Amino acid sequence: MARSYPPIPHKDMEAFIRVVRRLRRDCPWDRKQTHRSLRHSLIEETYEVVEALD
């Protein structure tokens, strides 16, 4: 099966993981977030992406 997108290079994924770890370690706001607390923001951001694509 052919992929419709290029895979994320391993190096880029490692950089992403480092950023997430740093935010979770150093940012009080990020540390207290949960899946539930991020739900509203995720929905709002998704609407903005859809609007930008239209």
pLDDT at residue 11 in the model: 84
Q: In this structure, which amino acid lies at residue 15?
A: A
Q: What is the pLDDT of residues 1-37, one digit of tens each?
A: 566 677 667 888 889 999 999 999 999 999 999 999 9
Is residue 20 within 8 Å of 26, Cβ to Cβ? Answer: no
pLDDT band at 42 (very low <50, low <70, confident <90, very high): very high
Is residue 39 within 8 Å of 45, Cβ to Cβ? Answer: no
pLDDT at residue 2 in the model: 63
pLDDT at residue 4 in the model: 64
Place of tokens 């997108």: 5
Q: What is the DSSP letter of 34?
A: -
Its sign, for the CA torsion 7, 11, 12, 18, is: positive
pLDDT at residue 8 in the model: 65
